[in-house]
């Protein structure tokens, strides 16, 4: 055992774990902040919905599709100048967050839109009949009713973000994935690879469990 873990610098692992968690936390928070309104707009502007608007819907849909079709590694590079403009640097955790959000928010928006579509139209109609405004319908009826789907979507997105953070090493963001590539893969330090992958596995498992529990807590079907 002692000889197997010979390459491991535990302080490095701890730092990489913290970097991954920071990237994930920061990017996820912003993904939710941008993804939910975007998802709501996609839903509301859709055909037959409350604020049906084919032009807006087509435009939003196009932007979302374009962003979703760009491979993340490319997005990371293409975004460099924008990232510098936004956060002053393209390096480190801060430099990784803008491309992570741009990569994940459109994906999450689609999941939010799908969750909203699952809500019975009758609920919207009933809220309208009770004199609810569009804002009230969205915030007090649609989103609470869609909450299980919105949370399940956030879980899927967070897990996708974990794998995105591994690529963020390209812009020197650090994190567990970066460690796995630089030491585990490029320097043939299998023990580093094993430990980082195990930590990522624990992270993903933890996220899934947390998500499932939250979904169960808000489901009343």
Partner 1 sequence: MIQLEGVTRRFQSAAGERVALDAVDLTVEAGQVFGVVGRSGAGKSTLIRTINLLERPDAGRVVVDGQDMTALSPADLRAARRRIGMIFQHFNLLNAKTIAENVAFPLRLEGRPSADVDRRVASLLDQLGLAEHAKKHPAQLSGGQKQRVGIARALACEPRVLLCDEATSALDPETTDEILSLLDQLNRDLGLTIVLITHQMEVVRRVCDRVAVLKDGRVVEEGATADVFLHPRHAATRAMLAEGEEAFDATTVPPGGRLARLTFRGGSTYEPELSRVARSVGVDYSILSGRISRIRGEPYGQLVVAFTGGDAEAAVAQLTARGVTVEQVGEAA
Nearer Cβ to partner 1, position 128 or 208?
128
Vertex 81 angle, CA 79 and 82, to 5°: 65
How far apart (Å, rounded) are the C-alpha atoms in residues 87 and 70? 22
Residue 128 binds partner 1 (CB under 8 A)? yes
The only residue of 102, 106, 107, 145 in contact with partner 1, by rule CB under 8 A:
145
The only residue of 7, 53, 136, 208 in contact with partner 1, by rule CB under 8 A:
136
Cβ–Cβ under 8 Å, residues 192 and 180: yes
Here the tokens at position 28 are 């996820």
Nearer Cβ to partner 1, position 151 or 195?
151
Q: What are phi and psi of 172, to 5 degrees?
A: 70, 35
For the CB of residue 52, give the shortest distance to partner 1 in the complex, in Å: 13
Residue 144 binds partner 1 (CB under 8 A)? yes
For the CB of residue 54, give the shortest distance to partner 1 in the complex, in Å: 14
The only residue of 1, 3, 6, 220 in contact with partner 1, by rule CB under 8 A:
220
The answer for residues whose C-beta is within 8 angstroms of residue 112's C-beta and 6 or more apart is 35, 36, 38, 39, 40, 42, 43, 146, 149, 150, 153
Longest dimension (CA), the chain: 71
Residue 120 binds partner 1 (CB under 8 A)? yes
Residue 48 binds partner 1 (CB under 8 A)? no
Binding residues vs partner 1 (CB under 8 A): 120, 122-123, 125-133, 136, 140-141, 144-145, 147, 218, 220-221
């Amino acid at each position: 055992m002692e000889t197997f873990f010979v390459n491991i610098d535990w302080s490095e692992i701890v730092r990489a774990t913290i970097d991954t968690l920071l990237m994930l936390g920061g990017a996820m928070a912003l993904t939710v902040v941008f993804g939910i309104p975007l998802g709501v707009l996609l839903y509301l502007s859709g055909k037959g919905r409350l604020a049906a608007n084919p032009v807006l819907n087509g435009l939003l849909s196009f932007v979302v599709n374009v962003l979703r079709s760009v491979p993340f590694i490319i997005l990371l590079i293409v975004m460099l100048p924008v990232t510098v403009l936004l956060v002053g640097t393209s390096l480190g955790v801060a430099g990784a967050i803008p491309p992570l959000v741009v990569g994940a928010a459109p994906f999450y928006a689609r999941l939010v839109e799908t969750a909203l579509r699952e809500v019975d139209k009758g609920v919207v109609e009933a809220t309208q009949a009770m004199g609810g405004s569009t804002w009230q319908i969205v915030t007090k009826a649609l989103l609470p009713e869609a909450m299980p789907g919105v949370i399940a979507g956030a879980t899927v997105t967070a897990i996708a973000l974990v794998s995105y953070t591994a690529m963020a090493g390209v812009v020197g963001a650090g994190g567990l994935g970066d460690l796995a590539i630089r030491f585990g893969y490029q320097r043939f330090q299998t023990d580093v690879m094993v430990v980082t992958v195990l930590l990522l596995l624990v992270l993903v498992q933890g996220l899934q469990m947390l998500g499932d529990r939250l979904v169960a807590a808000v489901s009343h079907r």
